Amino acid sequence: VILGEVDSLRETYDFVIVGGGTAGLVVANRLTEISKFNVLVLEAGPTDAGVLEIEVPFLCTHTTPQTPWDWNYTTIPQAALNGASLTYPRGHVLGGTSSVNCLVYTRGSQADFDRYAQVTGDSGWSWKSMLPYFKKSEKFTRPSDNHNTTGQFDPAVHGFSGFNSVSLPGASTAIDNRFNEAVGQLGGEFFEQLDYNSGTPLGFGWSQAVIDGPSGTRSSSSSGYLQKKILERPNLHVLVNAQVSRILHNSKAEAANPLFSSVEYRINGKGSLRTVTATKEIILSAGSINTPQILLNSGVGGKTALEKLDIVSQVDIEDVGQNLSDHPIITFAWLVNASTTYDDFNRNITLQNEEIQIWNKTRQGVFVNGIAQHIGFVRVPDNSSIFQSAPNPSSGPNSPHFEIFVSNFLLGNTPPTGQFLSISAIMLTPGVAARGSVTITSNDPFSTPVIDAGLMRDNGTDLPLMREAVRSILRLASAPTWANYIIGPASSTQPNLNSSDNEIDAFIKGNARSAYHVVGTSSMSKKGAKTGVVDPNLLLKHAAGVRIVDASVLPFVPAGHTQASTYALAERAADLIKADFAMSS
Ligand SMILES: Cc1cc2nc3c(=O)[nH]c(=O)nc-3n(C[C@H](O)[C@H](O)[C@H](O)COP(=O)(O)OP(=O)(O)OC[C@H]3O[C@@H](n4cnc5c(N)ncnc54)[C@H](O)[C@@H]3O)c2cc1C
């Protein structure tokens, strides 16, 4: 193992993995189970070791934006959101975005995966085939406060011996009982769901998060898949602060399927370019923004656009960097009549430090919790007028259109005073036209990519579905149980249940942002299909020696946050790679 040293690197490895993020470290771990494979991981960011903001679950909102652990991207103006340019964080640290994300663990629905199977013509991507990989990656742990979890999740759909820890909230809050009462009082779309990670997520239940309960810490791909005993494997080298610029091939320029076998990179953001050779395969796991960027830098992408930048076209694939799909999110907040919210921990540094001491000593208390105590999934009825003029973007009849989650504080910028309740909605089913892109504007491989998030771009269903989500939030907040708790809206512009469609739409356009669930920029498609970037085995089309293993291969964003799917797809990818090189796991 090497962290930050170059001298002991070999010139060739069996596998070179580009990006030590969520998916990359899963593959690194699984391939080095085979002692005769040697693997190098090149990670652009620093190590995550000892970074408190990364380790402490409650501090997850402090890991981005504008930190050393973030690529600090910004999107181009988003026309459907009043032209706003959005901050667009991505993990730039060992563990990648799993080291900086908000910890929520949701898998999406059965139909999401069955749709992946259908569009790739490969039943290996179906829910039935992927559930074992969700379980393989997961280590469901007891919550930090050791409370009795009977009836709060379904053990039958979870794994207990994987590398990615998951748990239920580890500290109770004053809103827990009220939330459960609200669901009971309201009916309609509000009903109890034992476990939304079962494949049929509709309903409301306890939040599951990638938190290791006993130690009260974030579980990232680094803390899990790269834990000490794995890092000690002699066949695994990990180089941090190593930014990859391009993949290179040695075939003749006119070769039909060029064989890529080396990776070009630089250390510490400066100095000369170095190369390292992969004798078996290069695995691109640089995430939905940087994987397409590296491909485009390397001449893999739409030929005409690349030639305009004086980049020699190596493989002409129009879809590289296209079809970006992401989830919009909106947050509503209310001033509440309570002293028990978490707002003070976000704004009072003394209190924060005290709580860190408690966390350090006991691995319990407020700081073992993430951003959500409860999560629910809602489907708009099939006979809704929304679907009379535009196709229903849902993947199937048991899939949700939106998610709602509840936070015991103001999710966003904390005002200097006041105690708050937040309810957020994520619109999970962007319409067909809501697609963005990652492009490059220079042949300097280290220049910043141009990101269009494509948020809310579909004129048919995006706004009406988001409006439904807003009305659901407002219905939830109107339950009788909140009557003596909620004082009033945190902002005077926040719509209420009497607001018109136009008023709600204006609020959405002014306030919806990205949930950062970016996929699709290296989509998988059927073998031989003209569209798409990789085949169902995740091999780069019209080339040899390159596989893509990260969230960018998902052709549609699942109806859930994206890390669970990324872990599961990387687990399956590792098995595909082992099988291709005639090894069983
Ligand atoms: C702020 C935020 C909050 C989120 N919250 C949640 C959540 O609560 N729940 C959830 O499920 N999902 C969440 N997500 C999304 C989820 O974390 C990601 O979809 C998932 O982690 C992506 O995994 P990946 O392997 O595709 O990429 P990443 O984990 O981003 O890995 C890519 C890695 O490659 C490295 N890299 C990139 N370019 C280069 C290069 N040129 N050379 C070398 N290395 C390179 C990066 O530094 C990074 O380590 C969130 C995302 C963000 C940004």
DSSP codes of every residue in 244-301: EEEEEE-S-TT-SS-BEEEEEEEETTEEEEEEEEEEEEEEE-SHHHHHHHHHHHTTEE
List the beta bridge partners of residue 274. Answer: 265
**Closest C-alpha residue for ligand 1 atom 9:** 104
**What ipTM, to 2 d.p.?**
1.00
Q: In the prediction, which pLDDT does 289 show?
A: 99
**Whole-Å CA distances, 470 to 210, 310, 466, 503:** 27, 47, 6, 11
CA–CA dist 12, 176 (Å, integer) = 54
Quote the ligand 1 centre to 99 CA distance (angstroms): 8
**Closest C-alpha residue for ligand 1 atom 3:** 101
Q: In the prediction, which pLDDT does 352 show?
A: 95
Q: In the prediction, which pLDDT does 255 show?
A: 66
Q: 164-166 and 138-140: which strand pairing? A: parallel
Bond into 65 cis (ω within 30): yes
* Residue entry with tokens 């129009």: 318
Quote the ligand 1 centre to 77 CA distance (angstroms): 22
Closest atom of ligand 1 to 565 CA is: 11
Quote the ligand 1 centre to 194 CA distance (angstroms): 29
Residue 227's Cα: distance from chain center in Å?
A: 21
**Closest C-alpha residue for ligand 1 atom 41:** 244
Burial of 255 (0-12, 13-18, 19+ CB in 10 A): middle
Q: In the prediction, which pLDDT does 585 show?
A: 46
CA–CA dist 229, 304 (Å, integer) = 48
Q: Residues enclosing ligand 1, CB less than 6 A?
A: 18-24, 42-45, 64, 89-92, 96-98, 100-104, 243-244, 285-288, 290, 294, 516-517, 550-551, 561-564, 566
CA–CA dist 436, 462 (Å, integer) = 14
**Closest C-alpha residue for ligand 1 atom 49:** 96
Quote the ligand 1 centre to 316 CA distance (angstroms): 27
Contact criterion met (CB below 8 Å) for 172 and 179: no
Quote the ligand 1 centre to 98 CA distance (angstroms): 6
Quote the ligand 1 centre to 517 CA distance (angstroms): 9
CA–CA dist 552, 294 (Å, integer) = 13
- 246 CB contacts (<8 Å, ≥6 apart)? 263, 264, 294, 297, 298, 445
As averages over each run of 10 residues, the pLDDT of the chain (585 residues) reads 74 97 98 96 97 97 96 98 98 98 98 98 98 98 97 98 98 95 97 98 98 98 97 95 95 76 94 95 98 98 98 96 98 96 95 96 95 96 96 97 97 95 98 98 97 97 98 98 97 96 98 98 97 98 97 98 98 98 67
Cα torsion 226, 34, 567, 159 to 10°: value is -90
CA–CA dist 201, 183 (Å, integer) = 16
Torsion over CA: 89, 424, 520, 239 (sign): positive
